[in-house]
Amino acid sequence: MSVRVARAARAWARSVSGRRGSSNWPRPPPAAVDVAALLREATAADGGSRDAEAAAGRREPGQCSVLLFPGQGSQVVGMGRGLLRYPRVRELYDAARRVLGYDLLELSLRGPQEALDRTVHCQPAVFVASLAAVEKLHHLQPAVIENCVAAAGFSVGEFAALVFAGAMEFSEGLYAVKVRAEAMQEASEAAPSGMLSVLGQRQSRFAVACLEAQEHCRTRGIESPVCEVSSYLFPDCRVISGHLEALQFLQKNSSKYHFRRTKMLPVSGGFHTSLMEPAVEPLAQVLKAIDVKKPLVSVHSNVDGNKYMHARHIQKLLLRQLVSPVKWEQTMHAIYERKKGTAFPQTFEVGPGKQLGTILKSCNLQAWRSYSHVEVLETDEDPEQPL
């Protein structure tokens, strides 16, 4: 282990009690995790953020790492059980209890699944489990954190990526996720809506399908029907969100639009569409009160796939994300595009499930060959062995 990594690891452990004084959100206890401290120390060791970026550019590409944070839909009862042996993970869940007002660890470990699947619960649960997985990764392979050059999160996972990168504190980020989840749950209850995963092919007509589904809804008396592409996953694979009537129409007529397979997702609403407009203002009020910083490593936005440039950029795009499609395929291209023959970074999916790894395999097979998943369920693995 390098001197720099050792210094950073010590800084991570001791810096958690030094919090920003401007925040009014409930505080984690003194021993709770601050997942950005290692990055802050590494940046200081390089002589500032600009020097740190230059140093990252001088590293061999194969020595760098990328962290991917999953989103809603990856939750499963039992997640977190495989993380409790690692330092400060229980304190992290204790902090979450104080912010949320209920025992998130108990719900994550024992369910029931129906309760965990509710938007108001699963978004905070995935957020906390992902950051707890970062603790495991730091414990087993601290150099991965030091050498991280980019992070991205799917939907609510973007908040976890921003907390990891030091753009906001854990309690602030979790409170924002709590308000976001509650507002999205309320918005989804205004009309029967959902999300449909669609595996298409080159000749699939996604835009035409959405327009004709909207017209079908109008014939059924639905005013201002919504049916929109809400996620770009990988080539020829989309998620379409909107009124349930529209999604059912697409399933019945899938062959007409050259869809190979369709599947309803286990979520409660038509997320990342105009149906979520009522959720924007509650989240905006929270983000105004949060001391958002420029990330210490590149974090890519769901809205356009590009990395955030400054704090105001983060606040603006997190709001747009609620009502805009998740451009995950474009994000994968932005992170992994490189000259032929250039090595790919190590990629770690931190959080429940391996969905992002599966998507990466379909977007960029060469990048996927350096992919690993940080397990959050109980396994028979040796806890002291590298991933």
Residue spans per domain, the chain? 61-188+274-374, 190-265
pLDDT tens per residue across span 207-264: 999 999 999 999 999 999 999 999 999 999 999 999 999 999 999 999 999 999 999 9
Closest among 145, 78, 85 to 105, alpha carbons compared? 78
Residue corresponding to tokens 């602030």: 172
Q: Which residues are catalytic?
A: 155, 272
d(CA 264, CA 119): 16
| pTM, to two decimals | 0.87
Which CATH code, of 3.40.50.300, 3.30.420.40, 3.90.1150.10, 3.30.70.250, is assigned to 190-265?
A: 3.30.70.250
Q: Is CATH 3.40.366.10 the right assignment for the domain spanning 61-188+274-374?
A: yes
Closest among 377, 336, 191 to 277, alpha carbons compared? 191
Which portions of the chain are predicted below pLDDT 70? Answer: 1-59, 379-387
Closest among 186, 190, 183, 163 to 174, alpha carbons compared? 163
Q: Is the peptide bond before 112 cis (omega within 30 degrees of 0)?
A: yes
pLDDT for 245 equals 98
